[in-house]
């Protein structure tokens, strides 16, 4: 962590699903956290990728703790993601593990690209216990060059507020599709657009922004959006039946 930022960092392991293998996680808690984000990685890079680490640091500067974790395939060093049921069970297990380590901190959940989409898929099937909102760092609406909204059909079943953080150069999300989609979701969805950012939130030099400025922009938006959420009572633990997805 950068100089001047006081945080507690803990490395832990938890079971990805009942009776399954353990996966790694890193809990980063700033001095006075207000929220805890259960933070899943994207398809091609795990929780130690610079984006994940730098984003966790930026969020800590805005009073948001993070619990970033590995999916089983990444823990094993494999290239291809696990089947979706495995990914969604891991999301649920991570939420439970984050509740255990975070104490009374209210939860947000989401992630980078694939991690965010698997979080929303899990939440669409059954609400994630204790989670008050979902955060998508580059929602992968479609494959590059193949505009479609099929991947977003499940979002209609998500019952908590959603924050979409998206770059104007993101080839996995045509804003001409994502904008209307968010409007159709109504008050549940908020879209924040990062000018000139790609799917990795990298911006060209001509933008006048540094990577650090982009991270801080994203973190500030998450902090401001989270402050608008109503902290209604939510289920606090997964039921056994929730695992049958």
pLDDT, tens digit, 9 for 90 and up, residues 15-62: 997 667 899 999 999 999 999 999 999 999 999 999 999 999 999 999
Q: Is residue 150 assigned to a domain?
A: yes
Residues 6+ apart with CB under 8 A from 187: 161
| pLDDT over 90, % of the chain | 86
Q: Is residue 217 assigned to a domain?
A: yes
pLDDT for 233 equals 57
| pLDDT over 70, % of the chain | 91
> What is the C-alpha to C-alpha distance for residues 109 and 162, in angstroms, rounded to an integer?
10
**Confidence category of residue 232, pLDDT binned at 50, 70, 90:** low
Residues 6+ apart with CB under 8 A from 203: 167, 194, 195, 196, 197, 209, 211, 214
Averaged pLDDT score across all residues of the chain: 92
The model's pLDDT over 142-191, given as tens digits with 9 standing for 90+, comes to: 999 899 999 999 999 999 999 999 999 999 999 999 999 999 999 999 99
Q: CB of 203 within 8 A of CB of 39?
A: no
Q: Is residue 243 assigned to a domain?
A: no
Q: CB of 16 within 8 A of CB of 23?
A: yes
Q: Is residue 147 assigned to a domain?
A: yes
**Confidence category of residue 241, pLDDT binned at 50, 70, 90:** very low
Q: Is residue 152 assigned to a domain?
A: yes
pTM: 0.91
> What is the C-alpha to C-alpha distance for residues 133 and 38, in angstroms, rounded to an integer?
11
Residues 6+ apart with CB under 8 A from 222: 37, 59, 62, 64, 108, 135, 163, 165
Residue 50's Cβ-count burial label (10 Å; 0-12, 13-18, 19+) is exposed
Q: How many domains does the chain have?
A: 1
> What is the C-alpha to C-alpha distance for residues 219 and 214, in angstroms, rounded to an integer?
9
Once rounded to an integer, what is the mean pLDDT over residues 85-99? 97
Q: Is residue 235 assigned to a domain?
A: no
CATH number at residue 206: 3.40.50.1820
Per the structure, the complete domain to which residue 132 belongs is given by 7-230
Q: Report CA torsion sign: 229, 234, 237, 239.
A: negative
What three-state secondary structure class fits 71? Answer: coil
pLDDT for 73 equals 96
Residues in the chain: 245
Q: How many CB atoms lie within 10 A of CB 218?
A: 23
Once rounded to an integer, what is the mean pLDDT over residues 199-225? 95
Strand-pair partners of 35: 64
Q: Is residue 2 assigned to a domain?
A: no
* Chain centroid offset of residue 129 CA: 15
Once rounded to an integer, what is the mean pLDDT over residues 231-237? 56
**Confidence category of residue 235, pLDDT binned at 50, 70, 90:** low
């Amino acid at each position: 962590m950068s100089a001047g930022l006081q945080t507690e960092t803990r490395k832990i392991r938890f079971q990805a699903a009942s009776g399954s293998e353990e996966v790694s996680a890193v809990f980063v808690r700033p001095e006075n956290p207000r929220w805890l984000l259960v933070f899943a990685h994207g398809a091609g890079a795990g929780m130690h990728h610079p984006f994940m680490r730098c984003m966790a640091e930026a969020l800590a500067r805005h009073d948001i703790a993070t619990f970033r974790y590995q999916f089983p395939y990444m823990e094993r060093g494999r290239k291809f993601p696990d089947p979706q049921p495995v990914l969604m069970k891991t999301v649920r297990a991570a939420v439970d593990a984050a509740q255990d380590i975070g104490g009374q901190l209210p939860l947000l959940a989401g992630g980078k690209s694939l991690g965010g989409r698997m979080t929303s898929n899990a939440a669409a099937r059954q609400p994630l216990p204790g989670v008050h909102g979902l955060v998508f760092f580059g929602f992968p609406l479609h494959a590059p060059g193949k505009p479609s909204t099929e991947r977003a059909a499940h979002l209609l079943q998500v019952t908590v507020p959603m924050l979409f953080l998206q770059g104007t150069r993101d080839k996995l999300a045509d804003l001409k599709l994502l904008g209307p989609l968010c409007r159709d979701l109504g008050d549940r969805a908020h879209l924040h657009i990062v000018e000139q950012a790609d799917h990795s939130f990298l911006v060209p030099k001509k933008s006048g922004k540094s990577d650090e400025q982009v991270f801080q922009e994203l973190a500030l938006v998450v902090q401001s959006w989270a402050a608008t959420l109503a902290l209604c009572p939510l289920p606090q633990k997964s039921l056994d039946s929730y695992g049958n997805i």
